[in-house]
Structure 1
Amino acid sequence: MREKLHHYAHLVRLDRPIGIYLLLWPTLWALWIAAEGVPDFTILLVFIAGVVLMRSAGCAINDYADRNVDPHVARTKTRPLAAGLITPQEALGVFAALSISALLLALLLNSLTIALSIVAVVLAATYPFMKRFHHLPQVHLGAAFAWAIPMAFTAVTGVMPPLVAWLLFLAAVLWTTAYDTMYAMCDRDDDVKIGVKSSAILFGQHDRLIIGILQLCTLLLLAGVGILSGLGMSYWLGLLVAVGFSIYQQWLIRHREPMPSLHAFLNNHWLGMAVFLGIAVDYASKADSVTIGAFMTLLSLHYV
């Protein structure tokens, strides 16, 4: 049983939490902006746990979908399902258990968020199969990862997400498409041989240019979010750091080599963190200003 649990942990990539981080940061962006500061603690815990569960479920269904492909790719041939350490039925069972757990967790939220959570499961379940049908499965992954944003707004506000939420959603979709294309560049040669489709194959020699355009659009949309949300200097400093990371990622993929492309993909964890810290610090500073202002008002009234 211990050995099986070890294989299940590898199946859902608990040893490689980068996917959790990349799903977590946009979720936290949305929660903080929706709440205009620190969100309700229960909602925050539900979303953090949901991120871990849904990313893990996505890994399980991804390996099931790629069970006949992964053994032929150098980077993935040692995964538990590809190596024959667990069965396809077990992978499906893990996906089902994690997805049901995430849906049960969503029952702690309001009815609108529960309805949106069903869409999240559908997106996560269908993404791995898209690479058989079209060259932009990365966009589908972007929608799956970004769907936590409208869910976060409905969880906090109880109403349909406003314009700023959908701008943030679009920014997350484009950002995910950009960094997952970097990831796809690592397997491009193997994918061409096997017949698997990806944005890296579709973009071809224009991959760096298109990734750069996606990065620029992401940053512009995040700037729009900052303006509409009335975010201040801390946010803009965080966004400036994100610009620096984007430029660094372009430098890493300049020769289109697998390992530097993988490092560029991994670097997006820090980009997402920089944006979140900018949001969190900005709202925290505003809260401090309000607290100080209220204290001074009460003090003046006392002396009057």
Structure 2
Amino acid sequence: MPDAANPSLFRLAPARIRPYLQLARLDRPIGWQLLLLPCLQSSALAGAAYGLAPRLSDMLLFLAGAIAMRGAGSTFNDIVDRDIDARVERTRARPIPSGAVTERAAAAFLVAQALVGLAVLLCFNGFTIALGLCSLGFVAVYPFVKRFSHWPQAVLGAAFAWGALMGWAAARGALAPAPALLYFGAVAWTIGYDTVYALQDVKDDAVIGVGSTARLFGDKVDLAVGGFYALAFAFAAAALVAASAGGLALVGLSGYGLHLAWQAARLRAARKGDAEVPGALALHLFRSNRDAGLILFGGLLAESLRLALQS
């Protein structure tokens, strides 16, 4: 567990269930946090647009759904990638390639997590249920894309950003330009931060012949990440304009932009002289996107609460 967030806490779990916790990536909470944040941002954006506080029940459902579906997606990815994972230094200790969990047991665990996610989804309105089911295509395709393309990060972005549509849909029972713009921004944000994450595996990926945007951009990776972060900020700003969200929402947007700019600058400095980006720095910058997303959400939430209290 070289990149586990808290390996000592993970080891407190009974030995029998540790491999399943690892399959669900519960030792790496950054995944479900990044999946959850667009949902929360979208809920708060709807609240800021209509002067209503986001529903706590929606946010709690999104939390449960993000944990379940991130776990299901990771388990599915590990089943599909079991042979590739066995050849990559960072992933060869995962439960399936290491033999800690059989493929059959992993498949059963996948179904169980998916059923939890479905149960959560069914708590929403009919439009949101249908919208949520539409995201499964991206989830199903994602593990295969790196075998024939350098753009698996784009497919991951399409899946991870889906919450930017879901939060608004749960609150309003329909979509509008504002959540669509927020979605495109979240896609660009995900491509950026997952490119940073993929820098850890560039050498192994090249040897085994799988693609990533980190490989595609090569010595221009810092500029590419900066470009995607600029797009993420621009679309988020357009979403706020479309929702007529100002005040404290703009403060959150500014903080979000400054955080992304800081990341891009750190990456640029690490690449000075065409040096390789250290894996530890790549992981640190990737994880810091939780804070970037929270800043944007915090501004939107504060603005929605302010308006709700005034009404």
TM-score, normalized by length of structure 2?
0.88
Q: Is 1:6 the equivalent of 2:36?
A: no
Find the counterpart in structure 2 of residue 215 from structure 1.
229
1:102 match:
117
The answer on 1:133 being equivalent to 2:148 is yes
Whole-angstrom CA distance in 2 between matches of 1:186 and 1:21: 20
Higher relative CO (Cα under 8 Å, sequence separation at least 6) belongs to: 2
CA distance in structure 2 between the aligned counterparts of 1:109 and 1:284, rounded to whole angstroms: 22
Is 1:163 the equivalent of 2:177? yes
2:170 and 2:257 map into 1 onto residues whose CA distance is 30
CA distance in 2, matches of 1:258, 1:287: 44
> 2-side partners of 1:185 and 1:237: how far apart?
31
Equivalent position of 2:36 in the other structure: 24
Equivalent residue letter for 1:113: T
Which residue of structure 2 aligns with residue 205 of structure 1? 219
Aligned length: 289
| Residue equivalent to 1:277 | 298
Matches within 5 A, 1:289-300: 289-290=310-311
Quote how far apart the aligned CAs of 1:29 are.
0.6
Report deviation, 1:67. 0.5
Counting only pairs closer than 5 Å after superposition, residues 1-304 of structure 1 correspond to structure 2 as: 2-36=14-48, 37-159=52-174, 161-253=175-267, 254-255=270-271, 256-290=277-311
8 Å Cα contact 2:54-2:301 kept in structure 1: no
1:181/1:86 Cα in 2 relative to 1: closer, same or farther (>3 Å)? same
Is the contact made by 1:120 and 1:148 (CA closer than 8 Å) also made in structure 2?
Answer: no
Aligned to 2:16, the other structure's residue is in SS state helix
Stretches of structure 2 that go unaligned for 5 or more consecutive residues are 1-12, 272-276
CA distance in 2, matches of 1:27, 1:47: 7
Q: Does 130-139 or 75-84 show the bigger shift?
A: 75-84
**Which shows bigger deviation, 116-125 or 205-214?**
116-125
Between the aligned residues of both structures, percent identity stands at: 35
- Structure 1: state its 5+ residue gaps: 291-304
Structure 1 residues 175-229: Cα deviation after superposition (integer angstroms, max 9, x where no partner): 0000000001111011000111111111111111111111111111111112222
User: Deviations for 1:213-262, whole angstroms, at most 9, x for unmatched residues?
Assistant: 11111111111112222222322222222222212212332332221111
Moved over 6 A (4+): none
Deviations 1:252-301 (A, max 9, x none): 323322211111111111100000001011112222333xxxxxxxxxxx
Moved more, 119-128 or 138-147: 119-128
Q: For 1:138-176, what per-residue CA distance to the aligned partner results, in whole angstroms no more than 9, with x for missing partners? A: 0100111111222222222122x1011110110000000
Counterpart residue number, 2:8: none
The alpha carbon displacement at 1:2 in A equals 4.5
Residues 91 and 252 of structure 1: CA distance in aligned 2, closer, same or farther (over 3 Å): farther
State the match for 1:293 in structure 2: none
Bigger Rg over Cα? 1
Tell me which moved more, 244-253 or 211-220: 244-253
Instruction: Name whichever of 16-25 and 228-237 sits farther off.
Output: 228-237
Q: Which amino acid aligns with 1:190?
A: D
Structure 1 letter corresponding to 2:281:
P
**Contact (CA 8 Å) 2:95, 2:101: kept in 1 or not?**
yes
Q: Check the 8 A contact 1:252/1:263 in 2, yes or no.
A: no
Rounded to whole Å, the distance in 2 between the matches of 1:88 and 1:25 is 31
Alpha-carbon separation, structure 2, partners of 1:101 and 1:284: 31
Supply the AA of the counterpart residue of 1:142: G
- Contact 1:127-1:137 within 8 A present in 2 as well: yes
**RMSD between aligned residues:** 1.7
> d(CA) in 2 for partners of 1:220 and 1:17?
27
Q: Which amino acid aligns with 2:94?
A: R
